[in-house]
Structures are given as structure tokens and as C-alpha cells.
Amino acid sequence: MALIKDSSPAWLVLADGQVFRGKSFGVKGTVVGEVVFTTGMTGYQETLTDPSYYGQIVTQTFPLIGNYGVNSQDFESTQSYVSGYIVREWCNAPSNFRSEDSIDHFLKRHNIIGLWGIDTRRLTRSLREAGVMNGAITTEDPAQNMEALLTKIHAYTVAEAVASVTGTEIHTYTPEDVKYRVVLLDFGYKRYIRKSLMNRGCEVIVVPAGTTADKVAELHPDGIMLSNGPGDPAENTRIIENLREIAKLGIPMFGICLGHQLMALAMGAKTEKLKYGHRGANQPVIDLLSGKTYVTSQNHGYAVVGDSLDATVGTVSHINANDKTCEGIRYTAVNCFTVQFHPEAHGGPLDTAYLFDEFTSRMDTYKEGK
């Protein structure tokens, strides 16, 4: 039976003073965050449970969200990390044999404030033209307290992001047929990174973000995985120092998204904040070695400045076909390669899943040389 949609009003207030009036779903209240947009036509469950969205109010550009419901098997983590959620319309009668619940109930369970019924096309154009900006979703008329709300909006920053999403304990996940042992540094990792490794015979030891080189060495891994995660990569100075020492172990390393950025910083490169980031499942990436263009899934607001990497340390391996930003690095000074996009993307595309096979190939070579 279809749910009765709440007709009570809700508003989005942006830092530049724009106000969008819509309707409320999820829980009620007021939340401040960095307003971003993602272009995925599917995969909203993965978006809602991706730790990389910590501190952000996420706007879906696709107009109808929730039509295939929600099921816990597709979650990327055990909880939702978005600060708020904006859609044009949500489906209150999902149809899918795997569906367990509605998206409205999901938001309520995870205490997420939602807004629907606004012109998300207009909002997306604003963010593309001005760049991502802070904002607030509220179910209380902002006209009554606009000055105070704008003060909160302008003061907001996404801080201590990795520390807020990383685990605090070591967890080991073992497949039936173990061929490799991989240490996964958890900067806010997505579940399907772990599953992609396990599907290739990797025993995965998930360790907290701040794990030192000595501790990693004690686990005797055949490979080291650097996960995705949220926030400004340059803020993680202790982690960057650790990665510099971890790289000296000579163990094969593979980095994705934030892991790619942190490794670049550890190797002396720089990062920069993009105007509105790359978020969605349709980002074209060029492999500079083969010349092929792949369609990739991405979620990041920062990028490595390719020209800032010393050519004796490594070279840019992939670039974004749209804005030519760095999308991958192959290092020569250390046993490591990294990419900005998500080759494991659950919901797709999986055009670049072969990179996990390259990682296992590097581990084979490493094991033979021990």
C-alpha cells in the first residue's frame, strides 16, 4: 500500500541567499551542510550509505528517486552519512522483488532531513555556475530567523571528516579460498571495495585510518588498499606521514578516491578543490597508456594537481575527459598505483574493474620475490 506523502513545507536556504520551497520527507528539523549534486540515474542507496558524503547535503539530479525501494544488501556501510537529502520527487510505492522498505522510512530510521518538490534542475545549474556552497534544509519557516540561519550556514565547514567515519578496531574478512592477505586502510571505505577484493581470493584486514607502518608490517600483508573517504585530503597530516612510511615497506599498494589523493600528498604532490566536483556514474576517464575512454563512477570534490607530481616519483595515468583533471597515477619510486574513480562501483559501471586484477597481479609478483 502506498504511503501518504507529507505535504508539510520545507525549505533549502543557500549561502548566497537563494531560497527553495518544497515539501518535507524523512525527519523534521534543521540541518546545515555543503550542498552538492550527483548525476546517477540509479544507485541512490549506495549514495545514501557512502561515507564519502559525510557533512554534505546531497541533491539527486535524476527526477524520480526511490522507485525500486531500499534493501540492506546494497548498502555501502551500516549507516547513512549524508547531512541532508534533496530530490525532485520520491516514489512512495516502490516496485522490486528485493525491496525491503521505502526511501522515506530509510531517511527516518537514519535521522536524515529530506526535501522534495523543488526545481532540482535550477538548483544544479546554480551549483554548476557558482560552485558548491553551504546551505541548510529546514522544516521551520526560514523567514522568521533568516539572519541567524545564514550566519550558521556561512560558518559551517566539513571538519574531522575521516576521523568521523573510520572504524576504531581491526576486523578481518576471510573468503573460502584465500590467495592473498590485504590490509585495507579505512578512510571511510565502501563495502564493495572489500567485496571486490574477497571475490579475488583476498583475506581483507580492515584497519583504522591512523594505522602506522609498523602495525601494517606486523600483519604481513601481500597488498595494501587505500580506501575512499570524505573531506579535504590535505587536513589529514598524520595519515599522510604514515603513508609516506608505509610506502617504504615495498608492499604493493592500490588507492581509490581519497586514498589516491592522500598517496599523492604523501609523495609530494598537491591537491585542489574543484568548483563543483565529480559525483555520479557517468564520468568519462581517459587511460593515457591505452588511449581508451572508460565510463566511471565518481564521488569527490578535490583532485590531485597532476603537474605538481615530480616526474621521478610517478606519472599521471588517467585524466578526466571533461575537465582534464588527474584521475590516476602510476608511481615509479614506490610500488603503488592509484585512481580517483571507483572501479568497484556497485550498481556500475564496472568498466575499470580490471584494476583489481592488476592489483592481484602485483601481489603475485611480490609474493614470488619474497
54, 32 Cβ separation under 8 angstroms:
no
Give the tens place of pLDDT for each residue, 40-60.
999 999 999 999 999 999 999
Position 346 in a domain: yes
Domain boundary among 138, 158, 178: 158
Is the predicted pLDDT of residue 231 greater than 90, yes or no? yes
Q: Using CA atoms, how far apart are residues 64 and 49, in angstroms rounded to an integer? A: 18
CA distance 323 to 254: 24
Work out the average pLDDT over 135-160: 96
- Is the same domain home to 132 and 16? yes
Statement to judge: residues 27 and 60 lie in one domain: yes
What domain range includes position 300? 162-368
Q: Which residues are catalytic?
A: 257, 342, 344
The answer to whether residue 3 sits within a structural domain is: no
Measured CA to CA, the distance from residue 120 to residue 19 in angstroms comes to 12
How many Cβ atoms are within 10 Å of 171's Cβ, its own excluded?
12
Q: Is there a single domain that holds both residue 151 and residue 208?
A: no
* Same domain? 95 vs 190: no
Q: Is the pLDDT of residue 4 over 80?
A: no
Mean pLDDT value of segment 233-237: 98
CA distance 211 to 4: 48
Sorting pLDDT into bands at 50, 70 and 90, what band is 2? low
Q: What is the pTM of this model?
A: 0.96
Q: Which three cell numbers stand for residue 246?
A: 608505509
Last residue of a domain, one of 158, 178, 205: 158
Residue 356 pLDDT greater than 70, yes or no: yes
Say whether pLDDT at 1 is over 60: no
- Provide the mean pLDDT of the chain: 96
pLDDT of residue 306: 97
Q: Is residue 97 domain-shared with residue 175, that is, in the same domain?
A: no
Number of structural domains in the chain: 2
Residue 186 reports pLDDT greater than 90: yes
> Do 168 and 153 fall within a single domain?
no
Residue predicted with more confidence, 347 or 359: 359
Evaluate whether 139 touches 28 at the Cβ level (below 8 Å): yes
Domain at 248, CATH number = 3.40.50.880
pLDDT above 70: residue 363? yes
Please tell me whether residues 199 and 282 are part of one structural domain: yes
pLDDT of amino acid 191: 96
Assess if residue 2 is contained within a domain: no
Task: Give mean pLDDT, residues 122-133.
Answer: 97
Statement to judge: residues 153 and 176 lie in one domain: no
| Pair 267, 133 in one domain | no
End-to-end CA distance of the chain: 61
Q: What is the mean pLDDT of residues 32-46?
A: 95
Instruction: Verify that 226 and 152 share a domain, yes or no.
Output: no
Q: What is the CATH number of the domain that holds 57?
A: 3.50.30.20
Which of these three, 132, 158, 184, is where a domain ends? 158
Over residues 287-300, the pLDDT tens digits come to 999 999 999 999 99
